[in-house]
Chains A and B, each alone.
Chain A
Amino acid sequence: MLAELLVPIFLPGIAFLATLLVLKAEQRPKWSGLLGGLVVPIATLIGFAYEGAWPSSFSDWHRLPVILAGAGLASAVLVLFPQGATQYVAPLTLGALAGLFGKFPGMDAADQWLLGLSVAASVRLWILASACSLGRLVGVAAWISCVALAPMAFDGGFTTLMVLAASAATISGALVLAPQALSPEGSGAMLLGVVLPTLAWCGFSYDYAEAPWWQWAAMAGLPVLVLVFFDPRPPLTGRDRLPWLSGLVRAVLIVVLLGWMLQPTVRSLAAPADDSYGSY
């Protein structure tokens, strides 16, 4: 089954990268959010087809791809604003969008407010991060976060969320290869700010596994740590001023931190399964 899921996982990332590469470098920031907002819901559709599990009726978690598509569309519009206004209008607009529509199971009004606030904070952070450390580092940070969320979703039996997180990882990977798409005024940074907290909230609300809330929150917020650890005083040129040894030590620290936070999930996934289909 995992082999079959590789196509829905990688196809959106490849489509995203291919389209970005067709665009001129200066156009990438403008279109990256809209493209990402389109390919992630497409990953959901491909995932359904591959799982043979086309939904019979609307489920609360289907709000997730709808929110992501909406965020993609909104971010494409928001980049048209003057940069000064975007810095504040984008977090507020996207936070409101996520908070309004993100009613996953077991979430009450207070949770929706929290979701909205976390998305607003996340979007602001990604815009700042893109401004500070313009370059491949931002994409790498998002990639690490998405990669970490995927096994947590899989451990909770939420296969489609796993596909979505993994697809988001391939899209982040594409952003590493085309870093211009993540400029501070770019819609790609805004979309990343929506994707990570929303994925984590959706996973948390459906989770029957042992992953506590802080593990979901830590994974969605991991890029903050990555960026702080790696580039505390980033130069505007985007080049790392730190010596390579210091960078390596920080990288090891991040990997250790990630491993520690993912420990319950890894333990659960490594537990003996009854067949080749894992827990099924």
Chain B
Amino acid sequence: MQILSSVVRSALVPGLILVLFPLSQVTAGSPAPRQPVAWQLDPVHSFGLFRVQHMNAGMFWGRFNDVTGTVIHHEDGSNPPKLKVRCAVESIDTGSEKLDRTMLGPKWFNGKEHEAMTFVSSAGEKIDETHWRLKGDLTIAGVTREVDVMTELTGIGGGPQGRKIGFECTLEINRNAFGIRILRGAIGDKVRLVVGLEADERKAE
């Protein structure tokens, strides 16, 4: 009888523990899941900044406000994040409406023919726990070039509405490579891009 009760106890107790403490709570603090998590970019908290030298003097900054896309991220860091980012060129914001219109013109971003700039990562190299050098295709004004993008995982947080993830991507490009060759000499060739991304975890359908 004693043997029987100890067998029943040993079979029931783990089951009871599992019922009382769901797996998600039990696994808190344990290594992150290896399954990649899909995230949807939050356009309100994502943006693109560009910096270019003006008249061989000051550095001019402009911003693109409409940034959308997706991120697939392995939280255990086993694989580089996969970024698919789209930036609507008509959302350019230089602080001057007139300059915005000029930069949307055919010799600059050619906004009427190419509505968006895109970046799609294809591979990456891990630098440390929060930094990767991502390789991918950057398309600006209809011209696609392979670029290296330094990507930093700035954090995984969130609130009552769900989890959020943040990345900051920086890269430097030569605008001539993308066919934007107007006003060479007056406007610098090198353009630094800083893209701040914040994404919401995609809920399972």
Contacts and interface: CB of A to CB of B under 8 A. Distances in A.
Interface of A: 1, 51-57, 59-61, 105-106, 156-160, 205-206, 208-209, 268, 271, 273-275, 277, 279-280
A280 B186 contact: yes
Contact of A57 (B55, B111, B143): B143
B101 interface: yes
7 contacts: A53-B181, A56-B181, A59-B106, A105-B112, A105-B113, A157-B104, A158-B107
Contacts of B124: none
A277 B105 contact: no
Given A157-B102, A157-B104, A52 B179 contact: no
Given A57-B143, A59-B106, A105-B112, A52 B182 contact: yes
A106 B143 CA distance: 20
B143 A56 contact: yes
B171 interface: no
B183 interface: yes
B178 interface: yes
Closest 9 CB pairs of A and B: A56-B179, A157-B105, A157-B102, A105-B112, A208-B101, A53-B182, A52-B184, A53-B181, A279-B98
Contacts of A57: 142-143, 179
Interface string B114-153: 0000000000000000000000000001110000000000
B59 interface: no
A200 B33 CA distance: 60
Contacts of A279: 96, 98-99, 101-102
Nearest to B105: A157
Contacts of A61: 106
B184 A157 contact: no
A52 B113 contact: no
A105 B111 CA distance: 10
Contacts of A271: 98
B106 A1 contact: no
A264 B61 CA distance: 29
B108 to A, nearest CB: 7
B110 interface: yes
Given A56-B178, A206-B112, A208-B111, A277 B106 contact: no
Contacts, number: 82
A280 B110 contact: no
A209 B97 CA distance: 9
Contact of A59 (B101, B102, B113): B113
B49 interface: no
B185 interface: yes
A246 to B, nearest CB: 41
A156 B111 CA distance: 12
A160 B100 CA distance: 18
A277 B186 contact: yes
A268 B100 CA distance: 14
Nearest to B110: A59
Contacts of A274: 96, 99
B187 interface: yes
A52 B181 contact: yes
Contacts of B104: 157, 208
Nearest to A53: B182
A1 B98 CA distance: 18
A134 to B, nearest CB: 38
Given A157-B102, A157-B105, A274-B96, 14 more contacts: A52-B182, A56-B179, A157-B101, A157-B107, A159-B107, A160-B106, A205-B112, A268-B98, A271-B98, A274-B99, A275-B55, A279-B96, A279-B99, A279-B101
Contacts of A158: 105-107
Contacts of B187: 280
B137 to A, nearest CB: 16
A59 B143 CA distance: 11
Contact of B185 (A52, A56, A59, A275): A52
